[in-house]
Amino acid sequence: MTSRPPLAISQRQPQRTLSASGLSQRPAPQRTLSQQLPQSPIRRSDGFGGEQGGDGGDGAQTRYATLPRRVGSKLKLELANDGIDHAGFVESPQNPDILSANKVFTPSRVMSMTDAPDLSGMSPQTSAGQSVDGDSLPMPMPPRRARFSVPAKNVQSAPTSAPAKKDLRSKPFTLETPPDAPRYSRTGKQEPCGRPRKNNGGPQRDTNANSGHADFYAWRGGHPEDQWSDSIIRIGYFDKAPAQSAQESASAKATLFPALKHKNGLHTLSSIFTNILNQRRHIGQISSPSTFKPPPRVTLTDSKREAWVKELARPSVPLRKLSRTIPHGIRGRVLLDQCLNKNVPTDRAVWLAKCVGANEIRAFKRKGVNNTFVMGGEVKWIRDWTVCVEQFVETVIGAFADGDWKSKVTYAIRLATHLYAEHLLDRDHYMEWLISSLETSNEAKLPMWLLLVQIYWKDMLKIRRHGRRLVTTMLSHHCSIYESPDRDVLLPLSTKLGSFVETLLLASPHSFVHPTTWSRYRESLQATLSSSREASINAFNAIDMRIDSLTNSNVKTQPAVRSTLVALLDSMLRLPFKDDIPGQIHKATKNTSVLIRTTLEWCTSLYRFGATKIYVAAAILRSIPDMDTDLTGEILAFLDADALHESPRKQSVYHLVSELVRSGHFCVPQYIQWLIARGGLLDPSEAEPDGPCAMRLLVEMPACTFNNSMRSLRASLLRRVSFSVEDEANDIGTAIRCIKYALSVPIDLDDPMLQKPPMSVKKLTNKIGLSSRSLKFEVCYWLANDFLDSVVQRFHSEKSHLDLAARYLDIVHKLLIAAQDFSMLETTLGYMTHSSNIETMSYCVNTLSLYLPEFVALGSAKQLFYAFYNRLRAISAQQGIVARPLLAALANLAPRLPGLETIASQLRNELLLADRSNPVDASSPLSDSMTTQLQDDETLLSEQIEKLSTYTSADKPTMERFFHTLVSKLVGCWTKGDERQRPFSILLSRLRVFDTQYFDSLMKDWVRHIRKLTKRAPIAQMYPLLVSSGCLSLTTLLATALRNQHQGTQSQPAPVGTSSTYMQEILQMLVKPLEPDRILTPDDCYRFQIIQKQARLEYAKEVMLLVRGSLAEWAASRNQQPPRGPLDDEKFKNQLFELLRDLILMDPQAASQTLSLKSPDAKLASLIETLTTRLLVPHSGGGQKSFEQVLELANEFTLPFCQVKLSLNLTIHDPSTPEGAERLQAQFEQLSTAMDNAIEANNVMWTGMLSYLSSDITSHLKNRAEARFLDLFPSLRSLPFDESRSKSDIHMAENLLTVVDSVLRGASMHKHCAFSSAMADKLNDLWEVLGSTSEDNSTLRKAVLTHWLPLLLAYLSLQASQSSAMVDSSKLPAGDTRARVLVILAGIILELDKYPMWNLSPRVFDIALILADNLSEEARLQCVRAVKDHTADPRLRYLFSFAPDPAENFMLAHREKPPTGLHERRMMAMNLGMGMPPEKLTPFAFRRWEILNEPTPNIGDNDTSLSLTLFDARKM
């Protein structure tokens, strides 16, 4: 046993020796970390023992001083050192190599162990800095490593100064300390007084017994244990004197040895040692309370504060010293800036932030207020501190101009990251700031924010509200760069951003589950995904399927698929036109049989009109990629199943099959074989025009496309029913000769047709229109190929440009339109693209614009546009002039084609410049003298037009005077029927160029004035020329037609005279075909026809309002004189019927509102009733239809017309009167009854029109259907479960869900539907069923998993998709029921994990994700409190956006003191089943701001930031 000497004993300072360790000391600036820090007092010297000082001869060497010299003769020592001459040893330590201190210690510099000499006199602990090489190299480079299996002798060159003196002194012996010897700890103990620090080779004196290694002291004669005395000899040496007064006088062997030899001796000995250890632990236990206090802050001057911060930046200054004087005034943003400017190490900057924060937070607690205020103040301070950090980082990032910007940004990001990692920031606020900054970042700063966000996105992706927002922001930037015109410049950024998005796609696919976001950015993301990365493609497809399950209709029956297909097909007839028609359709279904059958039914429906549907259907059928699909067989099966009695439907089939035969997609041999297998044609009536469609098709198909065998077989089959193929051929030849004669194409001289004048074009078109499809096909083929080809060949032979006379082109155009053969019209326009005549090409472009839907369906609209556009550029380049007619036609066409917005804008600007052909700029080019001249004589009109064209601008007063002068002249021409109104219209169009906006306002005021006139010329004589020439726009005409918006509902003074029929005349002008006369040229009529068709396609709602006003006007003017108006004309009524038919297909909702007039006029009500009934049932005589009849007539094609009829029946009564309200309620009940009967009859096709009815009706029907739907769900309270009854209930629930689906997906439900408590109750019932473990409920549980839960999830997905589409969360209803639904869904997710085979858990989770978005913060916190104590499922943490704080649930265990008696301890163990006493848990407040490594300058037993009593710490 040993003891330490008292601290007052001093030790001598070490002296520098001539040893190698003493001479190889590095200079101060190059000290290593171990040399800079105070050396341990227990480390042994690394050098050889040097000569002793003046007192060295006494032999009293200390424990760590230089070892005593080794005894022996010089000869013996020299012999012992002989052979030590390799690279690991220097013989003369007085003169080491000058580079030896800087050489790295490597394994190659270690001497071979086989040749190692006896170095017992050397210290075993040689530092790396002391290893030297024997080679004396002149250059400061390390020598090449010697490969020595046998060490080579080191040959040293003699020094130039003085010869090395050989050290002949004997080397001291060193006793090595065993490595397992325990060592005394110096924790909390100061350096003993009088004891020098360890120095290499210096003398040391150890007078402290309790230092160094315990129980191992080499004899040196200076240790207290080595001092012999009488008492030490008798009783031994003690570290501490024994407590008893009397010393031991005898040995204890006699007493202890028998006890140890006993069989229980070992147990007794272990008990003794255990008690000793327990007693030691009890005595050394730290029980004093914590004395920790944050380092105080003091007030310092600015200079001292600056010096303090500089010391903080120096790592050599200990923090314990700095903690004494933390200056006031360094807080918040100032603290961060000071750390940045002084380059304070990050760990020391965090230490300072903790010190300041701990004092700030404790300041709130010293105010003596309630805990709520304290917590609120602390939260507010942390929030403000987080804002300071955010501003600090943002400012440093934005300072791009600074020279050391990179180092500052690196420091700021590193400091902020350390603060974030130690939870010293408000993490939610910090992440929201990061994402907001990324959202608003421009492309220049985007890489920096991406780098910053990438540090934290693992934490962001663990929380739904941050993860989804991050993904949305990344996708938004990715899409904007993808669609940017500078995409090639931003390619590196786009590539990097795409890589980040792919990483997010794989790391957090849940964050992409948001229908609105996915639909917006899906295409751009799919276009940039790498096809080689299979994992990314699979993740994309998986998310796509998850979104589809949320957004697609939940009714997957065949009628629902058919309704979707019909809706897509109808959209092809409306603007904006789709480029990829087949691609849009094929997304709806993968069942080609359903697709073909639905397309054929849509094409042949009586409720779809025009030739566009033929070419849309043909394009879809041609694009079916499945090679195993028998298209011809599907068409023949359709003809066999549907008789097609109506003539329009038959003509549609003939036309469609002819187009498919033309392209080779209809197999004629297969059709003839099918026809022969059915017996062929047996009756002559089968070949007649009104014969069966499947039989008559043989006559209508174009025989010119057959081969010889098929023609012969066709002739044989037709000959059996007395149909002459020769007569058919003669008719075709006669038709072609008549057309040749009309086109002035030479025919045979002996042809009797030459004896008669040529047949008029009108008569020709009528005959062509009534002919068979076979004749139309061959005539159109001859026109578009033979005739035009001969013209082209003739002009090619003459080496001139193609120039077809306008009259011939007009004839060809009219004949092709009469035959409805737009394929051949496309070929004709293709030939005309080589023409050199500007007027001809302008005519072709106008034709393309007039029949744009058909050419879009053919897929040639853009090709033809670009062809004529290139011709315009070529003519402008060759001739140096602007082809204004062609330019105007292209400028009108370009905006209607998708994807040509840039070209359309360019063409409009070029047209404006062309109209201002002279670039002269004058402030007022139109003088009063010009106006006076126009009033004097009209002979100068042409001269004034040319003079006007030379100016480019006009001031408003002059322009107004000139406008009124022109329109007054124009009104005079209308009164007289003068032809000179054309020049005035042209002059007005020239005037419009100078200021379009002001001119339109003048024109609008003037048209309103014309509308009020009681006597005026007919509208058909006034406006067509102005509209055709561009003076009167369609927008202005429709905007001024109505007197006010509520024409039909407000009482107004009845108009008189011609003003009483103004709207009817405007409507008649828009639907009546114009004929050329002495005022309107054919070109004017053609352009006006384009505007008429454009009004139906692009201004459907405005035209609907015009129809509404016209009907109300007709009803109001019936009692006036003259009684007859345009609507009294039956021809105009038929035209109005066709207009309504088209408008209903364009916008059924607007049509329903238009025709829902509450007028007491019986004749008006009868007219509307007749029109709507005729629209619904074309061949009926009209009359009222009940609700049940309307629902029975509903199918995919009649749905828009049923909607109009149903809306009309529900709005004929005024709800403002008591009687009207009562009747309306009665009608609601009738409709509900009809709806229930239709559902019982499994008729749910009518549900598609519910969404377009009024909000009151849809809300009533939805609530009724929802109530019945929820009442059908089973629960544990409805036991026993009837499985047979459940099947009918499931079928009824599916039909009711179809009703709810149709209403909720409709456009009229603008208000979000709140979650009902009944729905939450049913969801809770299903949760209880899934959670039940009873075997009696197994049948019910299986039914719930199979049917009932998917049905309720389908209903919830409707709510979820509607919630996802609402961006403004303030419009969402209160979140109490919503939060309850989310908690129930969370429980169902956990329960469904028990049933993995049903695969319902992912769908429930996706629905919960959408419902959790935009949830209010209060409701979210309620959900968190409900689930966080019951489960640690990461899905629920992500769903409710809460991350567990590691220090949040810390608890203190207070253990009761165990009883002292053995019997009591045994009783407690028996009662508790364990030997440990019970514990009491209390919450522990973990103060992160007070976790300081150097808290205060005062050292105490328990001064740490975490009290040592928490760890049962003991003093050593």
Bridge partners, residue 1451, by sequence:
1483
Which tokens is 501 given? Answer: 């998005």
DSSP string, 439-454: HH--TTTHHHHHHHHH
Report the range out of 111-115, 1013-1017, 1045-1049 with the highest average pLDDT: 1013-1017
421 CB-near residues (< 8 Å, 6+ apart): none
Report the range out of 65-74, 695-704, 1223-1232 with the highest average pLDDT: 695-704
Peptide linkage before 576 cis (omega within 30 of 0): yes
Which tokens is 457 given? Answer: 């996105």
1293-1322 pLDDT tens trace: 888 888 888 777 764 444 556 778 889 999
pLDDT of the residue at 383:
92
> What average pLDDT is seen over the chain?
77
More confident residue, 371 or 103: 371
φ and ψ of 145, to 5 deg: -65, 130
For helices 1100-1116 and 1130-1146, angle between their N-to-C axes, nearest 10 degrees: 140
Dist CA 1168 CA 1155 (whole Å): 7
Report the range out of 226-230, 491-495, 1186-1190, 1369-1373 with the highest average pLDDT: 491-495
pLDDT of the residue at 1390:
92
Which tokens is 444 given? Answer: 């220049």
**Residue 1 to residues 561, 620, 1511, Cα–Cα distance (Å):** 96, 103, 31
pLDDT band at 171 (very low <50, low <70, confident <90, very high): low
More confident residue, 315 or 581: 315
More confident residue, 461 or 974: 461
For residue 825, the tally of other CB atoms under 10 A from its CB is 27
What is the 8-class DSSP label of residue 1505? S
Dist CA 1298 CA 1265 (whole Å): 9
**Residue 516 to residues 173, 543, 1309, 1361, 1410, Cα–Cα distance (Å):** 85, 13, 18, 8, 10
Strand-strand pairing, 1451-1455 and 326-327: unpaired
pLDDT surpassing 60 at residue 945: no
Dist CA 947 CA 860 (whole Å): 42
Dist CA 598 CA 496 (whole Å): 45
Q: Pick the closest to residue 1381 from 1311, 1301, 1322, 1313 (CA basis).
A: 1322
Q: Pick the closest to residue 445 from 414, 405, 407, 416 (CA basis).
A: 405
Dist CA 1455 CA 791 (whole Å): 110
Dist CA 629 CA 969 (whole Å): 68
pLDDT band at 59 (very low <50, low <70, confident <90, very high): very low
Look at residue 802 and give its three-state secondary structure: strand
Look at residue 832 and give its three-state secondary structure: helix
203 CB-near residues (< 8 Å, 6+ apart): 12, 14, 15, 52, 53, 56, 61, 62, 65, 66
For residue 728, the tally of other CB atoms under 10 A from its CB is 18
Report the range out of 676-685, 1189-1198, 1237-1246, 1252-1261 with the highest average pLDDT: 676-685
pLDDT of the residue at 210:
59
pLDDT surpassing 80 at residue 446: yes
Dist CA 1027 CA 1277 (whole Å): 73
For residue 783, the tally of other CB atoms under 10 A from its CB is 24
Q: Pick the closest to residue 1410 from 1445, 1427, 1385 (CA basis).
A: 1385
Query: Residue 347: which H helix or E strand, with range?
Result: helix 346-365
pLDDT band at 767 (very low <50, low <70, confident <90, very high): very high
Report the range out of 377-386, 706-715, 957-966 with the highest average pLDDT: 706-715
801-813 pLDDT tens trace: 556 677 888 899 9
Instruction: Give burial (CB, 10 Å; 0-12/13-18/19+) of 115.
Output: middle
| Mean pLDDT value of segment 1080-1084 | 85
Dist CA 916 CA 895 (whole Å): 22
For residue 293, the tally of other CB atoms under 10 A from its CB is 15
Look at residue 327 and give its three-state secondary structure: strand
Contact (CB, 8 A) for 759 and 743: no
Strand locations in 168-296 (E): none
| Mean pLDDT value of segment 664-686 | 91
Of 240-244, 437-441, 1097-1101, where does mean pLDDT reach its minimum? 240-244
* CB hemisphere CA count around 1382 (13 angstroms): 32
More confident residue, 409 or 20: 409
More confident residue, 1154 or 191: 1154
Contact (CB, 8 A) for 817 and 762: no
1071-1081 pLDDT tens trace: 998 888 888 88
Dist CA 233 CA 227 (whole Å): 10
Dist CA 1060 CA 612 (whole Å): 37
9-53 pLDDT tens trace: 334 344 433 333 333 333 444 444 333 434 434 333 344 343 333
Which tokens is 1423 given? Answer: 């959900």
pLDDT of the residue at 1240:
80
Bridge partners, residue 1480, by sequence:
1454
Bridge partners, residue 297, by sequence:
326
pLDDT surpassing 50 at residue 65: no
Look at residue 1099 and give its three-state secondary structure: coil
| Mean pLDDT value of segment 481-505 | 89
| Mean pLDDT value of segment 129-142 | 43
* Alpha carbon of residue 633 to chain centroid: 44
DSSP string, 976-1032: HT-TTHHHHHHHHHHHHTT-HHHHHHHHHHHHHHHHH-SS---HHHHHHHHHHHTSS
851-889 pLDDT tens trace: 999 999 998 999 999 999 999 998 888 876 668 889 999
Query: What is the sign, positive or negative, of the torsion defined by CA atoms of 1162, 1163, 1169, 1172?
Result: negative
pLDDT of the residue at 1459:
61
| Mean pLDDT value of segment 113-129 | 38
pTM equals 0.64
SS percent in the chain: helix, strand, coil, step 5: 60, 0, 40
1320-1348 pLDDT tens trace: 999 999 999 999 888 888 889 999 999 99
**Residue 1353 to residues 515, 726, 1349, 1364, 1386, Cα–Cα distance (Å):** 16, 67, 6, 16, 13
pLDDT band at 672 (very low <50, low <70, confident <90, very high): very high
Contact (CB, 8 A) for 1200 and 1148: yes
More confident residue, 375 or 728: 728
Look at residue 58 and give its three-state secondary structure: helix
Dist CA 1295 CA 1240 (whole Å): 9
Of 184-193, 705-714, 1279-1288, where does mean pLDDT reach its minimum? 184-193
Q: Determine the residue type at 1354.
A: A
pLDDT of the residue at 130:
40
What is the 8-class DSSP label of residue 115? T
Bridge partners, residue 1514, by sequence:
285
pLDDT surpassing 50 at residue 669: yes
Query: What is the sign, positive or negative, of the torsion defined by CA atoms of 1035, 1041, 1044, 1047?
Result: negative
210 CB-near residues (< 8 Å, 6+ apart): 2, 3, 4, 184, 239
